[in-house]
Amino acid sequence: MYGARLERWSKVTEWPLTIAALAFFVAYAVQIIVSPDGPLGSAAEAVIWVTWAVFLIDYLARLALAEHRWRWFYRHLLDLAIVALPMLRPLRLMRFLTVIALVQRGAGSILRGRVIIYTIGAAALTILIAALAVLDAEHGEGNIDTFGDALWWAFVTMTTVGYGDFYPVTLTGRIVAAGLMVGGIALIGAVTATLASWIVEKVSDEASKSAAATADQVEQLRSELAEVKALLEEQRKP
């Protein structure tokens, strides 16, 4: 009963939560990049608090609807972090991309296409979040003072290039960098696994086609031998 109610709740709230995550992301970006004062700053702060309340209500509702609450709690620590740490709240968008990627489970190229979509979306979102977070931590403290610099730093770090022209000096900035490095390694692993899956599928398809062709040839030879055998038996008859 509770499992069905939890599933219905998740389906009903998925789009509203995604919109709320996007609203938070925009408000958070405005606060970091523009640093607005007056009505715009107040509006951005209000959006952040409202979206925080939305995710808190969603978390408490799903916890209450879960059949085994303690098991659900320790299996959804990321959801707790999304509620507890405002910087992580946009990761709800990555969760939504995961749902889209797994809605229709197919074989071969269908599933692989969704993995690629998820990987690209998750990488772009991670770079944007890391750029905003490191700019928030490093502005006025190190050599990352603009969003362009932060975005460039996040991109070269995510791809494990690491030119070293920009680097974090604060503790918070270095924590963000460490998380981004781990994300870059995971991204490379996902791309490599996807490419390997594509190669294995192509080889398997060629092997299947060759096996099918060989089987057809063997069957054809059997038919021809049967015809020859029948002709020989007719000739032997008096």
Find the range with the poorest average confidence among 39-53, 123-137, 178-192, 194-208.
194-208
Q: Give a yes or no: residue 235 inside a domain.
A: no
Residues 112 and 189 occupy one common structural domain: yes
The range of the structural domain enclosing residue 12 comes to 1-103
Residues 72 and 113 occupy one common structural domain: no
Mark which of 60, 87, 103 sits at the end of a domain: 103
Q: Give a yes or no: residue 74 inside a domain.
A: yes
Residues 129 and 195 occupy one common structural domain: yes
pLDDT at 153: 94
Residues 116 and 198 occupy one common structural domain: yes
Find the range with the poorest average confidence among 26-30, 90-94, 198-202.
90-94
End-to-end Cα distance, the chain: 83
Residues 138 and 155 occupy one common structural domain: yes
This model's pTM is above 0.95: no
Residues 13 and 77 occupy one common structural domain: yes
Residues 121 and 149 occupy one common structural domain: yes
Residues 139 and 51 occupy one common structural domain: no
Q: Give a yes or no: residue 231 inside a domain.
A: no
**Domain count of the fold of the chain:** 2
Q: Give a yes or no: residue 197 inside a domain.
A: yes
Segment 15-44, tens digit of pLDDT: 888 888 888 888 888 888 887 778 888 898
Residues 89 and 160 occupy one common structural domain: no
Residues 189 and 131 occupy one common structural domain: yes
Q: Give a yes or no: residue 223 inside a domain.
A: no
Q: Which residue did the predictor score with more confidence, 102 or 151?
A: 151
Mark which of 63, 86, 103 sits at the end of a domain: 103
CATH assignment at residue 199: 1.10.287.70
Residues 135 and 67 occupy one common structural domain: no
Q: Give a yes or no: residue 220 inside a domain.
A: no
Residues 50 and 69 occupy one common structural domain: yes
